[in-house]
Each structure stands twice: as structure tokens, then as C-alpha cells.
Chains A and B, each alone.
Chain A
Amino acid sequence: MSDPGHDEIQSLLGAFALDAVDPDEAEAVRRHLDECGDCQAEVDAHRAVAGALGNSVEPLPPELWDRIAERIAESPGPTGPPPAPPDLSEQVVPLDPARRAAPARSRRGPTVVLGVAAAALVLVVAAYALGRSHPASPGHGGLSVAVAQAMATPGHQVVDLRSPDGTRLAQVVAVPGGHWYLARSDMPRLPGGRTYQLWGVIDGRYISLGLLGPHPSQAAFSVGSASPIAVAVSVEPAGGVASPDLPPVASGTVAT
């Protein structure tokens, strides 16, 4: 379908807001909305009305949150053990640590030793220690617990690492005391033989903070007593390099 005119697009806005247009029409409307604030506002208004029409509530199946929590642990974004279930007031969502821990153990080698620690508190403490003792080693189950702790630490700072075009590709959590974390990464998986390498800009120089592997999700690393003014990620050969050869794929400034 050739790109329809404004009037034709406008006539589709109601049906579009109800997901009731054909795929090619939907695509044409989406393209138009990117450029037309008025039509976007109309769609937003229609969707709000539609939301009111569809706004009923049903009791949630108790297993649904478990499924979501497990998928969060597997998703390529932030990884880690599933969160505690929400308190659904009238609904009791069973929490079964043993059952939840099982897939995490099989998925992530380094956490096998942690799996025997059934008590959640032990898991938290052990994971935190593991993170600290293995700087810049990605993919540990339980790291997200350490990340969550870092987020709760007074004085922590979240640094967005952005590509040159401004897209946020990763986030680092900086905690006073020098224990920092790669908390989230949307960086694409690298082909074989390459790794992401993390750098701190310290005293005007790039200092390696560690290798993140070809497809990082979360990692712990230490900056010691240094105070990097910026953090950057570059793509390097698998063994890493002493100083970055190529411009960083993502970088962010650390507030001082």
C-alpha cells in the first residue's frame, strides 16, 4: 500500500487504536504518528477510552507471577533470581524457594554451589561475596541480588552508558567504596573471538576495569580507590587489550 494521505490516515485512527486495522495499514499509521503530534494525541485519547472499556479485573492465576518471575531471570535484559512474589492481598502466591532455585542452578554454572544454600539470606550473602571476589565476571546468578543491594546503598549512582547516537546500551551502578556493577546491558551478542571490555577514564587515561565477555548481562568489578570520571565499553579481541584500539561503543560520565 502506498503511503496514504493525512485524511486517509486520520480516518483510520479509531480502528488503529483498537488494533483493528490490517498490518500494512498499521505500519502506515505508525510511520505517520512518528511525525504528527495531533494524530498521536488522538490515538492516545482513543486508547485511553479503550482502556476504560476494557477495564475489568479478574483474579490472577496464582502460577502466573511465577512464570513471569522465571522469565525475568532468563530474559536477556537484567538477569538474576526471580523476585519475591507480589502480595496480592486476597490471593496467596506460594513461594517455593527450592523449586525456583532449580532452573537457576541448571542455567548458571557458577551458582551451583549456591543452590545448596536453601535459605534466601545465605543466598544473598554468598552471591554478594561471589560478585566481589570475581571482578568483571558476567553471568553469575545472584548478581542481581548484589545489584539490587547496590541500588539500595546510600550514595550509589546509576551511570547510563550510551552509544554515540544516544541509545542507552548499558547501565553501571557505582557504589561508594569502589564496588561497581554492570547492572543492565542491551549490547548485542558479539561474534566469536570478540569481547566487550570495560574501561574507566582515570587521570585522563583509559584503564581496563575488566572483560565482560561476548554477551554481558550483569557483572561486578572493582575500581578500588580510583574515581573514574567516565566509564566506557569497547569491542576487543577475546583476550582483551591493554588500551582500547577503537572508539568505545558506549560511554557515560560519572558525576563527581
Chain B
Amino acid sequence: MGVRDYSDARLVLAIGRFRQDALAEAYRRHGGAVFALARRVTGDAEDAQDVAQEVFLRLWNEPDRFDPDRGSLRSFLLAQSHGRAVDAVRSREARRRREEREARQTASRGYDADSEMWDLVVADEVTRAMETLSGDERVAIELAYFDGLTYREVATRLDQPEGTVKSRIRSGLRRLRASLPDLAVRGS
């Protein structure tokens, strides 16, 4: 059985045993998603490459950090990608560049079509799930997640109390969870 047939969990075990082909396979499966999220948050392809590189190097060096009982490898890698992308955005230089770019262009928010049916299904379900949120919840989550703002910054941006924004993010995520029954924990 080749690495192509491995489950994600087995793939990570193999990475822990220095199987570089296993890392390459993890990259093949999830690299596009890791890169896409980093690019969306940072708004910059170079920054996104740095983020994706760090995410996969960390998987290589610390595969034990992934716990299959706590979620899918895709979710894990996306959380890593998001954290690093946000760090990049919050650095002053990156933020300045981002704001310059945003002044020049409208940020593209479209999901890139992916050949994998599952991703298309996810995107579709996510779009519908987002419609179940109140407008305030949706905006708060989008600003926090995709623009990399802290909830305090979101509150300032929306001129709303910090506590309210904090609650809306949490309640919105819970509502999304309820309308995305099993997909959020699904492995690849």
C-alpha cells in the first residue's frame, strides 16, 4: 500500500518516522487549501508561500502536535495556516502593504473551484450555512477570520461593544456548527 492510500492519520504517523514521501503526500492533499487560506488572509501570494512553508515544516518537525481524535488533518493544517497568516497580517509592514493593496483593488472573495467534489460541496454548504447567521454574526466572523482582526478591532471597526462582538463570534460559530452537521470533522 503506497502513501496515496494512507489515511491522513496514518500519513502523519509515517511523517513521524521520517517518511518524506508521506510529507509530500500530505502537501499534495492539503497544500492547496493551506495556501489558499493563507493567501486570502494575507492578501499576498509571497506571504502565503511563507506561511504554507512554515505549516508543512512544522508538520515535519512536530507531527505529534496533530491529534486525529481532535479533528481532521485538513482542519488542523488550516488552523495552523490561519494563525501564521494572522501573525503576518498583524505585523505592521504587512498591514501597511495590505492596506495599500486594498486601496487599489477590491479583494477577491470568491472560492476557487476545486476539482475535488468534496471541497465544492463544502463551499456550497458553507455558503448556505453562513446565510443562517444574523448579519452581525456573519460580519464579525468574516472580519475576524478572513481579515485577521482581533475581536476588539472588529468592535472598533463596527462601532459595537467588545463584549457583544465576542459573543456574536462564539454564537455564530455554534450556529454554523449546527448547520454543518458532520462535515467540519470529516477527514479527507
A14 within 8 A of B: yes
The listed residue (A12, A55, A80) touching B119 by CB distance below 8 A is A55
Nearest B residue (CB) for A10: B170
Q: List, in ascending order, chain B residues with CB within 8 A of A122's CB.
A: none
Name the one of A13, A18, A52, A87 contacting B144, with C-beta atoms under 8 angstroms.
A18
Find out whether the CB atom of A49 lies under 8 angstroms from the CB atom of B176. yes
Contact bitstring B161-184, A, C-beta under 8 A = 1, else 0: 001011101111110110010011
Q: Which of B82, B114, B130, B141 contacts A56 (CB 8 A)?
A: B114
Most chain B CB inside 10 Å of its own CB: which residue of A60, A82, A85, A90: A60
Residues of A within 8 A of B40 (CB): 54, 56
Q: Which of chain A's residues has its CB closest to B55's CB?
A: A68
A202 CB contacts on chain B under 8 angstroms:
none
Give every chain A residue within 8 A of B122 (Cβ-Cβ): 52, 55
In chain B between 84 and 98, which residues have their CB closer than 8 angstroms to a CB of chain A?
A: 86
- Of A144-152, A204-212, A233-241, the segment with at least 4 beta carbons within 8 Å of chain B is A144-152
Give every chain A residue within 8 A of B115 (Cβ-Cβ).
90
Q: For the complex, is B126 an interface residue (Cβ under 8 Å from A)?
A: yes
- Select from chain A the residue with minimum beta-carbon distance to B177: A49
Q: How large, as a class, is the contact surface on chain B? A: 35 or more
Main DSSP-derived SS at the B contact region:
helix
Determine whether the beta carbon of B123 is less than 8 Å from that of A68: no
Task: Name the one of B23, B49, B72, B86 contacting A19, with C-beta atoms under 8 angstroms.
Answer: B86
Stretch of A70-78, A98-106, A126-134, A224-232 contacting B (4+ beta carbons < 8 Å): A70-78
Interface size on A, residues (CB 8 A): 59
- Report yes or no: B151 in contact with A15, Cβ–Cβ below 8 A: yes
Q: At the interface, yes or no: A83 with Cβ under 8 Å from chain B?
A: yes
The stretch of A40-48, A187-195, A247-255 that contacts the partner chain = A40-48
B residues in contact with A88, CB < 8 Å: 28
Decide: A144 and B18 in contact? CB cutoff 8 A: yes
**Contacts A18-B145, A68-B57; A52 near B180 (Cβ below 8 A):** yes
CB pair B49 A15 closer than 8 Å: no
Q: Are B24 and A84 within 8 A (Cβ)?
A: yes
Interchain CB contact under 8 A, A18 and B78: no
In the complex the two chains form, is A87's CB within 8 Å of B32's CB? no
Least CB distance, A189 to chain B, in whole angstroms: 16
Q: Pick the contact of B72 from A17, A48, A53, A76 — CB < 8 Å?
A: A48
Q: Which of B57, B71, B169 has the most A CB atoms < 10 Å from its CB?
A: B169
Contact indicator B33/A19 (Cβ below 8 Å): no
Q: How far is the CB of B176 from chain A (nearest CB, A)?
A: 5
Q: Which are the 10 A-B pairs with shortest beta-carbon distances?
A: A14-B170, A83-B20, A51-B75, A86-B24, A48-B184, A20-B144, A57-B32, A58-B36, A57-B114, A86-B28
Q: 18 extra interchain contacts, Cβ-Cβ under 8 A, other than A58-B35, A84-B24?
A: A11-B166, A14-B173, A15-B150, A15-B169, A19-B83, A46-B173, A47-B79, A48-B177, A51-B74, A53-B126, A54-B40, A68-B53, A71-B57, A72-B23, A88-B28, A144-B18, A151-B18, A183-B18
Residues of B whose CB lies within 8 Å of any CB of A are: 17-21, 23-25, 27-28, 31-33, 35-37, 39-40, 45, 49, 52-53, 56-57, 60-61, 70-72, 74-76, 78-79, 81-83, 86, 111-112, 114-116, 119, 122-123, 125-126, 130, 141, 144-146, 148-152, 154, 163, 165-167, 169-174, 176-177, 180, 183-185
Interface residues of A (CB under 8 A from B): 11-15, 17-22, 40, 44-61, 63-65, 67-68, 71-72, 75-78, 80, 82-90, 144, 147-148, 151, 158, 171, 183-184
